[in-house]
Chains A and B, each alone.
Chain A
Amino acid sequence: MIEGVTLHHFLVISGIMFFLGMYGFLNRKNMITMLMSLELMLNAVNINFASINAYMHTDLLQGHFFALFIIGVAAAEAALAIAIIVLLYRKFNSINIEKSNTMKF
């Protein structure tokens, strides 16, 4: 419990952040900016887990550990995605999502 700051404050912030990330993910064409929007969304989910842990389940640390694991998954995903992006750039000389359509059926 923090003085003057309720659970809803945290959840509203994380919600705004998540849906801004969703807007960016749907709107952008460049793969790196899409990856940034994805990081925003994962980060918003982390705030959600941590705040619900801090306000509702104070005897356990479940949300805290889940946020830690999500950070690990996000790091792995970013490394792999950037490897794929660099490879696509070598092949197509562009990282526009609409130009990489070799496997498109």
Chain B
Amino acid sequence: METIFFYILALVIIVFSTLTVSTNNILRAAVYLLFVLGATSGLYFMMNFNFLAAVQLTVYAGGIVVLIIFSILLTHQINTILESSDLKKRIISGAISIISGSVFIWALFTYNFKISDKNIDDTSVKTIGTQLMSYVENGYVLPFEVISVLLLACMIAAIIIAKKFSHD
């Protein structure tokens, strides 16, 4: 049952990733990206990371895709067809990706992963919140603070960059 579910999600991810990088209609590319991100959150649900899957759905599928679609509407006519890049560039980038991808797959199947025989048992929101806020062992309060400051700086920078100054 879970195997079938996994293969359905894998098929969705591969097909729609290919369409995202190959389609010429930019709005369609954004919608295909939405399907890829949704299928990814399905994979997180399979791994029993329910909070991560929910964050993936809200931040990626709900936030970033909507932001991308808004920026498409701000900068394009909706029906613009992108010109496809020339054959030489396409061959070079395809060759680079395929070569590095084969190296990745080869390294994956020759390395000996030590699979643990236990299941992850405790992924409740309470555990995640406690560990995120704790500063003793297995606590992640420092990266949490760093990412808070990063987000604040980024929001201020985005406002300043996109603001229309009156003198130009």
Contact = CB atoms under 8 A, between A and B. Distances in A.
Interface of A: 1-13, 15-24, 26-30, 32-33, 35-37, 39-40, 43, 46-47, 50-51, 53-61, 64-65, 67-69, 71-80, 82-87, 89, 95
B115 A56 contact: yes
B167 interface: no
Given A40-B20, A69-B147, A10 B68 contact: no
B6 interface: yes
Given A27-B85, A74-B60, A5 B68 contact: no
B136 interface: no
Given A20-B21, A50-B52, A40 B33 contact: yes
A40 B17 CA distance: 8
Interface residues of B: mostly helix, strand, loop or mixed? helix
Contacts, number: 228
B52 A64 contact: yes
Nearest to B147: A72
Contacts of A86: 71, 74-75, 162
Given A17-B17, A20-B21, A29 B85 contact: yes
Contact of B17 (A11, A12, A21, A32): A21
A37 to B, nearest CB: 6
B116 interface: yes
Given A9-B6, A86-B75, A61 B127 contact: yes
Contacts of B64: 39, 74-75, 78
B21 A30 contact: no
Nearest to A20: B17
Nearest to B164: A90
Contacts of A33: 21, 26, 29, 82
A17 B55 CA distance: 20
Contact of A68 (B14, B26, B55, B155): B55
Interface in B69-119: 70-72, 74-76, 82-83, 85, 89-90, 92-94, 96-98, 100-101, 104-105, 108-109, 113-119
A8 B108 contact: yes
A28 B20 CA distance: 11
A59 B118 CA distance: 9
A70 B18 CA distance: 23
Given A50-B44, A89-B75, A79 B6 contact: no
